[in-house]
Structure 1
Amino acid sequence: MKFSIKDLVKLLVSLGLAAGLLWLFFQYSGIRIDEIVERFRQADYRFVLISAALAFVAHWSRSMRWRMLMEPVGYHPSAQNAVLAVMTGYFANTLVPRLGEVTRCGTLNRLEGVPVNVSFGTVVAERIIDVLMLLVLIGLTFLLEFNRLSEFFIGLFSDKLGGAGQNSNTTLMLLFAGGLVGLAIIAWVLFSRYKEVLRRKPFYQKVEKFVIGLLEGLTSVRKLKNPGGFLFHTVLIWTLYYLMSYVLFFAVPETSGLGILAGLTILVVGAIGMTTPTPGGTGSFQILVGSVLVLYGLESKDGGLLATFIWAVQTLTVLLYGGIAFVIVLLKAGNQPATRQGQPSTVGSKS
Structure 2
Amino acid sequence: MKNQFTKILSIILPLLLGFFLIIYTYNKFTPQQLAELKSHFKNADYTYIFISLGIALTGYVSRAYRWRYTLGHMGYHSPFATNFFAVCIAYFMNMTIPRSGEVSRALLLKKYSNVPFDKALGTIISERIVDLILLVLVLAGTIILQFSVLKDYLIKNIPFEKLVFYSAVAVIFFIASILFFMYSKIRWVQKLKIKVSGLTEGALSVFKMRNKWPFLLHSIYIWVSYVLMFYVTIYALPQTSDISFGVISTAFVIGSLAITFTNSGFGIYPYAIASVLALYGISATVGTAFGWIVWASQIGLIILLGSLSFLLLPLLHKNK
Common topology (TM > 0.5): yes
Q: Does 1:70 pair with 2:54?
A: no
Unpaired segments ≥5 residues, structure 2: 192-197
1:265 aligns with 2:250: yes
- Aligned-pair Cα RMSD in Å: 3.7
- Does the 8 Å contact 1:62/1:233 carry over to 2? yes
Matching residue's letter, 1:225 = R
Distance 1:89 1:5, change over 3 A: farther
Task: Answer with 174-183 or 246-255: which moved more.
Answer: 174-183
User: Where in structure 2 are the equivalents of 1:142-291 lying within 5 Å?
Assistant: 142-152=143-153, 163=165, 174=176, 178=180, 181-184=184-187, 220-277=205-262, 279-291=263-275
Higher RCO (CA 8 Å, separation ≥ 6 residues): 1
The one-letter code sitting in structure 2 at the alignment partner of 1:274 is I
User: Structure 1 residues 133, 300: closer, same or farther in 2, change over 3 A?
Assistant: same
* 2:70–2:206 contact (8 Å) kept in structure 1: yes
Instruction: Tell me how far apart the structure 1 counterparts of residues 20 and 315 of structure 2 sit (CA, whole Å).
Output: 38
2:185 corresponds to which letter in structure 1?
G
The total of aligned residue pairs comes to 312
- Per-residue CA deviation, residues 266-286 of structure 1 (Å, 9 max, x unaligned), is 221211222222x31123322
2:122 matched to which residue of 1?
121
Alpha-carbon distance between aligned partners in 1 of 2:29 and 2:162, rounded to the nearest angstrom: 22
CA contact (8 A) 1:70 1:217 kept: no
Rounded Cα–Cα distance in structure 2 between residues aligned with 1:294 and 1:134: 23
Take 1:177 and 1:30, find their aligned partners in 2: how far apart are those partners? 51
Alpha-carbon distance change, 102 to 161 in structure 1, aligned in 2, over 3 angstroms: farther
User: Contact between 1:88 and 1:325, CA under 8 Å: does it hold in 2?
Assistant: yes
Task: Indicate if the aligned counterparts of 1:63 and 1:82 stay in contact, CA closer than 8 A.
Answer: yes
Answer with 11-20 or 72-81: which moved more: 11-20
C-alpha displacement of 1:67: 1.4
Distance in 1 (alpha carbons) for counterparts of 2:139 and 2:170: 29
| Contact 1:58/1:237 (8 A) holds in 2 | yes
Match of 2:195 in 1: none
2:90 matched residue in structure 1: 89
Shift in Å, 1:235: 1.6
In 1, Cα distance between the equivalents of 2:162 and 2:319? 56
- Find the counterpart in structure 1 of residue 194 from structure 2: none
The one-letter code of the counterpart of 2:245 is I
TM-score by length of 1: 0.75
Determine if the alignment matches structure 1 residue 323 to structure 2 residue 307.
yes
Distance 2:227 2:189 in 1: 46
Match of 1:297 in 2: 281
Cα distance in 1 for residues equivalent to 2:45 and 2:166:
51
> Which of 291-300 and 73-82 deviates more?
291-300
Deviation, 1:30, is: 6.3
Name whichever of 225-234 and 24-33 sits farther off.
Answer: 24-33
Change in CA separation of 1:33 and 1:82 when aligned onto 2, cut-off 3 Å: farther
Q: Is the 8 A contact 1:65 1:233 kept in 2?
A: yes
Q: Letter of the aligned partner of 1:303 in structure 2?
A: G
Return closer, same or farther for 1:257/1:78 CA change in 2, 3 Å cut-off: same
AA aligned opposite 1:293: L
Partners of 1:115 and 1:160 lie apart in 2 by 53
Amino-acid identity (%):
29
Contact 2:93/2:100, CA 8 A, preserved across alignment: yes
Q: Which moved more, 1:140-149 or 1:19-28?
A: 19-28
- For 1:222 and 1:283, how far apart are their aligned partners in 2? 38
CA distance in 1, matches of 2:147, 2:88: 35
Letter in 1 for 2:50: L
Q: Is the 8 A contact 1:88 1:323 kept in 2?
A: yes
Does the Cα contact within 8 Å between 2:129 and 2:199 map onto a contact in 1? Answer: no
- Residue number among 298, 301, 319 corresponding to 1:314 in the alignment: 298
Whose Rg is larger? Answer: 1
Structure 1 residues 225 and 252, CA, compared in 2 at 3 Å: closer, same or farther? Answer: same
> Is the 1:118–1:217 Cα contact (8 Å) retained in structure 2?
no
Superposed displacement of residue 181, structure 1:
2.2
User: What are the superposed Cα offsets for residues 203-258 of structure 1, whole Å, 9 maximum, x if unpaired?
Assistant: xxxxxxxxxx9898656413322222112211211111011111111111221222
String of CA shifts for 1:14-48, please: whole Å, max 9, x gaps: 32232233334434566977655443322212111
Distance, in Å, in 2 between the alignment partners of 1:125 and 1:239 is: 19
Corresponding residue of 1:108: 109
What is the distance in 2 between the residues matched to 1:173 and 1:59?
38
Aligned residues of 1:137 and 1:268 also touching (Cα < 8 A) = yes
2:5 equivalent to 1:20: no
Partner of 1:45: 46
* Equivalence for 1:196: none
The superposition leaves residues 107-166 of structure 1 with CA deviations (integer Å, 9 ceiling, x where unpaired) of 222221211211111111111111111121122222222112334566788898584997
Query: 1:117·1:214 contact (CA, 8 Å) conserved in 2?
Result: no
Aligned to 1:80: 81
Q: Which moved more, 1:237-246 or 1:279-288?
A: 279-288
Q: Which residue of 2 aligns with 1:336?
A: 319
